[in-house]
């Protein structure tokens, strides 16, 4: 049985908190994911994984947070980005409210890198109040999962809107994946004489430098990889890896 907080009465929430103090919090973003994936890809992945985990583990599922900080994607239509200070305060109040209801173990499922530091700031702050907070970045987890499960990805590592993300979305919401619009784009650094490193880094003469810029300076499509070899079967293997590993982690987290 999936116990979703937003569908409970306050009496049911009170009783649930007596059975478990552990809550899952899916959090995502609304930002460009290439021309072929929905803006809500991060949120949809977090929600899907959270629902599946809530079937397996002794947890309560909190309402999802469907947006976050995505400031570097400004210039792409459909973007919703929340200022870091505003988002951090929202998370602080959200998590403190859950703790006051008895849910003092809080596990964030966060595919979106832009939220991680904000969650971490709140996690350290609320630790002083007896809250135990953890986070897993689902997309970052795909690299080791691909090795463990020996998944045959053409791309060796996860890329934004690339093969791994597209494969997962083919499972979660296949009708929203527009492969006829998909392109393979390798981002090029807008900084003269430098190679593209990550969304933040550039490489110059073997050293990495952080150059603060908008993603549209490096990519015109909003994609940072090659989605062309994506398949639903590969996506299912990734999701299975998420569920196996996180379910086992939750059991240990509840002993912490």
- 201 part of a folded domain: no
Please name which of 181, 135, 191 lies closest in space to residue 161, comparing C-alpha atoms. Answer: 181
> Is a pLDDT exceeding 80 seen at residue 80?
yes
CATH number at residue 29: 3.40.50.10310
> Is a pLDDT exceeding 90 seen at residue 197?
no
- 53 part of a folded domain: yes
Q: What are phi and psi of 65, to 5 degrees?
A: -105, 115
- 164 part of a folded domain: no
Res. 186 pLDDT band, cuts 50 70 90: confident
> Is a pLDDT exceeding 90 seen at residue 15?
yes
**Residue range 121-145, pLDDT digits in tens:** 999 999 999 999 999 999 999 999 9
d(CA 198, CA 109): 22
Residues 6+ away with beta carbon under 8 Å from 74: 81, 214, 216
Please name which of 79, 84, 164, 94 lies closest in space to residue 131, comparing C-alpha atoms. Answer: 94
As a whole number, mean pLDDT of residues 146-172 equals: 94
R_g of the chain, CA atoms, integer Å: 19
Residue whose pair of structure tokens reads 């691909």 in the numeric block: 146
Number of domains in the chain: 1
pLDDT of 5 = 97
More confident residue, 156 or 77: 77
With beta carbons less than 8 A apart as the criterion, state whether 186 and 247 touch.
no
Domain residue limits at 40: 5-154+238-253
Q: What is the mean pLDDT of the chain?
A: 95
- 127 part of a folded domain: yes
As a whole number, mean pLDDT of residues 143-162 equals: 92
- Cα–Cα distances (Å) from 55 to 19, 39, 120, 219, in that order, read 15, 27, 27, 39
- Helix (H), strand (E), coil (C) string for the chain: CCCEHHHCCHHHHHHHHHHCCEEEEEECCECCECCCECCCHHHHHHHHHHHHHHHHCCCEECCCECCECCHHHCCCCCCEECCHHHHHHHHHHHHHHHHHCCCCEEEEECCCHHHHHHHHHHHHHHHCCCCEEEEECHHHHHHHHHHHCCCCCCCCCCCCCCHHHHHHHHHHCHHHCCHHHCCCCCCCCCCCCCEECCCCEEEECCEEEECCCCHHHCCCCCCCCCCCCCCHHHHHHHHHHHHHHHHHHHHHHCCC
- 134 part of a folded domain: yes
Q: Residue 133: beta bridge partners?
A: 106
- 133 part of a folded domain: yes
Q: What are phi and psi of 134, to 5 degrees?
A: -140, 165
- 163 part of a folded domain: no
d(CA 210, CA 156): 24
- 181 part of a folded domain: no
Q: Model's pTM, two decimal places? A: 0.94
With beta carbons less than 8 A apart as the criterion, state whether 22 and 103 touch.
yes
pLDDT of 82 = 97
**Residue range 34-76, pLDDT digits in tens:** 999 999 999 999 999 999 999 999 999 999 999 999 999 999 9
């Amino acid at each position: 049985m999936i116990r979703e907080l937003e569908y409970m009465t306050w009496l049911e929430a009170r009783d649930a908190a007596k059975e478990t103090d552990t809550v899952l919090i899916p959090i995502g973003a609304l930002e460009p994911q290439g021309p072929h994936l929905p803006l809500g890809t991060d949120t949809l992945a977090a929600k899907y994984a959270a629902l599946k985990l809530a079937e397996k583990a002794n947890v309560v599922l909190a309402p999802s947070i469907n947006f976050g900080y995505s400031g570097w994607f400004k210039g792409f239509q459909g973007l919703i980005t929340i200022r870091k200070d505003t988002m951090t305060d929202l998370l602080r109040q959200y998590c403190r409210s859950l703790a006051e209801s008895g849910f003092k173990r809080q596990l964030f499922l966060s595919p979106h890198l832009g939220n991680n530091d904000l969650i971490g700031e709140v996690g350290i702050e609320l630790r002083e109040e007896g809250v135990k907070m953890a986070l897993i970045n689902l997309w970052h987890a795909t690299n080791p999962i691909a090795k463990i499960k020996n998944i045959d990805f053409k791309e060796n590592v996860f890329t934004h809107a690339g093969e791994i993300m597209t494969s997962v979305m083919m499972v979660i919401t296949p009708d929203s994946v527009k492969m006829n619009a998909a392109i393979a784009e390798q981002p090029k650094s807008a900084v003269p004489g430098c190679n593209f490193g990550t969304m933040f880094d550039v490489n110059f003469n073997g050293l990495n430098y952080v150059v603060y810029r908008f993603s549209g300076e490096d990519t015109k499509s909003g994609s940072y990889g090659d989605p062309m070899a994506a398949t639903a079967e590969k996506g299912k293997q990734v999701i299975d890896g998420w569920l196996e590993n996180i379910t086992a982690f939750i059991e240990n987290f509840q002993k912490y």
